[in-house]
Every structure is written in structure tokens, then in C-alpha cells.
Amino acid sequence: MKTYVMKNPTLRTLAFLAVLLLLIIAPVYAVNALPISQEGYPIYIVQAGDTLSSIATRFGVDADAIQTANGITDANTLAIGQQLVIPGLEGVSGLLTTEIVPFGATFDSLLREYQLDAASLIKVNRLTSRSEAIAGVDLIIAVNDEDTLTPLTTVSGGETLLEAAIQTGNSPGCFQTNQLEVLGT
């Protein structure tokens, strides 16, 4: 077997530089997994202090599944405000936000106020009982873009529609009496 040796030092240097350049450039062209379409999947917006594993734990899904679904190559490069598709929550769609259950609220009042489906609220929050939605608890709410939230307005006894409109930042004309619940009468 013959061994070929380059006798020209400039040719050897050029060959070495070509191989070196190829090794430097090659990692830049690494193939990334393509993120799945955001259509029909719940979206979470990364907050300060979030990690891929903390987000996965919060939603009860695998961190690798989130990483694959979003085409993330380095789990340590999450950016605040980045939108992540959360796989594994079939039947749930929209923007996932956290709300603190206010004093006096019940599971059913939360469903009415945020116009939610009971099954998706239970699934996203991994609730085992409706009684777990108590004051002070953080609940994850899926808000759909096409459904703008219009919380119900409660008018206390002795309060006028004008006062209620001013408190909610609405026009008195937008209230309909059949949508109001009057307390204390």
C-alpha cells in the first residue's frame, strides 16, 4: 500500500485550514427539530425564573416533550416572554395564565367569571376535587384569543348602574339588567 505525502507545504496548509474551517462551521448547521404548530395547543409565556423543568412540573408534562415540541436545542436558553407550546394537554387551548382565587370565590363562580370549561380547568390544574379551588390558591386559566373575557359584574344593594359602570370602566349603556346579580335585596 502506498502512502501519499503532500510535498508542497502550501497545499498541506490549505488542506489543514479547509478541514479546520469545516469543523468550525459544521455545528452552526445542526438540524433543529421543527416546533409543532401553535394552533389548537395551549401556549405558556415564559416568566422570570422559569426553567424548562419547572414549567414541565407545573403542567405535569415531560420537559423533553416541551423541548421537542418547541424546537429548543438548549434547555438553558429560555427567554422571558418566549411563547412555548405545552404538549400533552389535549382538549385545552389558548394562553395559559395564573390567577389567584379571590376570597369568596367557588369553583363554579370561577367557571362563570372566566367562561371556562370545568373539564379543562380540572385537567390543567390537576385537581382531584372542586373544593381545591379555595381563596389564595394559584390556578392556571386557559384564555382563548377569540373569546375575550368579560367577567360578570355584581352590583351591591343601593349601588346604581352608573356607579358600577364607573368602577368597572364601562359605559352604563353596556349593562343589561338580566346579566346583573343584585346583592342585598
pLDDT at 52: 92
4 pLDDT higher than 70: no
Report the C-alpha gap between 139 and 136 in whole angstroms: 9
Report the C-alpha gap between 121 and 130 in whole angstroms: 10
Strands 94-100 and 138-143: antiparallel
Check if CATH label 1.10.3720.10 holds for domain 42-143.
Answer: no
- What is the average per-residue pLDDT within 123-144? 84
Neighbours of 147 (CB within 10 A): 11
Helix/strand/coil for 134: coil
Tens digits of residue pLDDT in 59-105 = 888 999 999 999 998 888 888 889 999 988 877 888 888 888 888 88
Please choose, from the candidates 132, 52, 42, 48, the residue with its C-alpha nearest in 3D space to the C-alpha of residue 96. 42
pLDDT at 13: 75
**Across the strands, what pairs with 156?**
183
Pair 73, 32: CB distance under 8 Å:
yes
Strands 181-183 and 154-156: parallel
Locate the domains of the chain by residue range: 42-143, 154-183
Q: Whole-model pTM above 0.75? A: no
Which of the residue ranges 17-21, 35-39, 141-145 would you say has the lowest mean pLDDT?
35-39
178 pLDDT higher than 50: no
- The burial of 119, by beta-carbon neighbours within 10 Å (0-12 exposed, 13-18 middle, 19 or more buried), is given as exposed
Tens digits of residue pLDDT in 32-47 = 333 444 567 889 988 8
Alpha helices in the chain (DSSP H): 9-25, 52-59, 63-69, 107-114, 118-125, 161-168
